[in-house]
Chains A and B, each alone.
Chain A
Amino acid sequence: SAVISQKPSRDICQRGTSLTIQCQVDSQVTMMFWYRQQPGQSLTLIATANQGSEATYESGFVIDKFPISRPNLTFSTLTVSNMSPEDSSIYLCSVAGADGYTFGSGTRLTVV
């Protein structure tokens, strides 16, 4: 299965600033997904990012707040913009491959 390198693993950020999270995959994949896991809750899909097209956002998530780039089939970034303490979560990327789904190790974000 695919191997994903996700960076940073954790960060503490000031409110009002932005953080960009990167995911690098060791193979070409068509579909990449960005999830959020807030404390005590299950994983929630933020958006689906396909190379060469605009990301598709789930209800409750907007591009201005969570802009996504997908410049090629092995890389994607998610930016958490104008952060507030409510954005403190674990953010994960995931890819769909021929033999299943793989998740990155996650980015633990704390906004102070």
Chain B
Amino acid sequence: DQQVKQNSPSLSVQEGRISILNCDYTNSMFDYFLWYKKYPAEGPTFLISISSIKDKNEDGRFTVFLNKSAKHLSLHIVPSQPGDSAVYFCAANYNFNKFYFGSGTKLNVKP
């Protein structure tokens, strides 16, 4: 049972435009959410997190939005840069237990 889903396996965006990556989850107990970026042959790099008490968290070009009623999470990258091209994973957990990861969305930012 996949509790965290990223339904778009890939996304292509022009440099300078906004990238929006989406994530849905099924477990209403989740209280902590993360986005990770992963380049080929490297481990994931933490990007941004949000706890369930918030609906938005911003860090530079990256903003995560949480809609608890819809069980939906999104990552906005503005403006997108070619160096942002990577696979992005969302993840969720509760009570500092194991993380459940989505299957990833491959972002390609075209120059």
Residues of A within 8 A of B (CB): 1, 6, 10, 31, 33, 41-45, 48, 58, 90, 92, 96, 100-106, 108
Are B98's CB and A43's CB within 8 A? no
Interface size classification for chain B: 10 to 19
9 A–B contact pairs at CB < 8 A?
A31-B96, A33-B98, A42-B102, A42-B104, A43-B99, A48-B98, A101-B99, A103-B46, A105-B42
Chain A, interface SS category: strand
B81 within 8 A of A: no
Q: Which residues of A contact B103 (CB under 8 A)?
A: 41-42
Q: Which residues of A contact B41 (CB under 8 A)?
A: 10, 90, 106, 108
B43 within 8 A of A: yes
B25 within 8 A of A: no
Q: Which residues of A contact B30 (CB under 8 A)?
A: none
